[in-house]
């Protein structure tokens, strides 16, 4: 199985190891003056903690505090189903929706929770994930029903597409193997009774009860697409990704 690593354009720069300091200059040698920028630099700036501002990212709230050296990490299946664009638009335009729904970007099926991984663990963690996936064969899945989800902090609500229950065995098996890696690093395991799905729409706040009340009507919209072209809601699972901070590791299945 091939494994590749990619980097996103926004950088969480890694600290490079400093080279050995040069010998101290002789007292007789002239000392160069410090640049004015350094003289006025705040000494505590490197310790400043970024302030979470939900207004800068569509009202989303961090699930955990940002700390230097801690990288948000999760493993998932990327979803590429073109018909989802039309489905998203139809659901958003439904007169039943009275909150601002937004289309999800980077649609995927989670195989782990989002966990906090320390920077110095990244290489060995990815190696462990690779070892668990090395014999995994490609397989197919199909999305079949809508379901409403809310994150653990109850700060966002999602409308998701569930994977056909008869096609979740491989996803469940992979998730359980990944749980062994998470245990090794004392990180939270995946849900005990996972509902494998991809979130296609989301909104800020806890609207789970409201959306569940109209779920049958929203399901009718989905079924109008599914009945016409059910094969378009199928996809091959050829790749599993691991995102940690700004690094993206790709594992091609055999």
Assigned token pair, 243: 């995102």
Helices and strands in the chain: count of H runs, count of E runs: 6, 11
Q: Which residues, in sequence order, are bridge partners of residue 115?
A: 73
Instruction: Please say if 108 is a catalytic residue.
Output: yes
What is the spatial distance between Cα 223 and Cα 212, in angstroms, rounded to a whole number?
Answer: 17
Which one is catalytic: 108, 119, 145, 207? 108
Assigned token pair, 158: 């999602």
3-state secondary structure 58-83: CCCCCCCCCCCCEEEEEEEEECCCCC
Sign of CA dihedral 90, 91, 96, 99: negative
Instruction: Looking at 31-189, list the stretches that DSSP marks H as alpha helix, in order from N- to C-terminal side.
Output: 36-39, 84-92, 122-133, 169-184
Instruction: Please say if 119 is a catalytic residue.
Output: no
Closest CA to 253 of 177, 148, 166, 150: 177
Catalytic site positions: 108, 197
């Amino acid at each position: 199985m091939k494994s590749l690593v990619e980097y996103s354009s926004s950088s969480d720069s890694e600290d490079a190891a400093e080279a050995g300091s040069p010998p101290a200059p002789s007292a007789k040698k002239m000392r160069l003056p410090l640049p004015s920028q350094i003289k006025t630099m705040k000494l505590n700036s490197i310790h400043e903690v970024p302030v979470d501002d939900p207004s800068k990212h569509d009202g989303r709230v961090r699930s955990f505090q940002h700390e230097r050296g801690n990288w948000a990490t999760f493993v998932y299946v990327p979803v590429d189903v073109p018909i989802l664009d039309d489905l998203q638009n139809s659901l958003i335009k439904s007169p039943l929706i009275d909150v601002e729904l937004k289309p999800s970007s980077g649609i995927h099926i989670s195989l782990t929770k989002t966990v906090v991984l320390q920077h110095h663990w990244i290489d060995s963690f990815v190696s462990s994930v690779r070892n668990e996936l090395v014999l995994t064969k490609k397989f197919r899945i199909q999305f079949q029903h809508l379901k409403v989800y809310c994150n653990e902090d109850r700060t966002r609500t999602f409308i998701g597409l569930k994977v056909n229950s008869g096609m979740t065995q491989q996803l469940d098996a992979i998730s359980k193997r990944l749980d062994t890696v998470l245990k090794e690093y004392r990180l939270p395991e995946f849900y005990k009774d996972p509902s494998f799905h991809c979130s296609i729409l989301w909104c800020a706040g806890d609207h789970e009860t409201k959306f569940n009340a109209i779920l049958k009507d929203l399901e009718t919209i989905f079924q109008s697409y599914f009945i016409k072209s059910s094969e378009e809601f199928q996809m091959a699972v050829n790749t599993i990704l691991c995102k940690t901070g700004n690094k993206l590791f790709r594992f091609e299945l055999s």
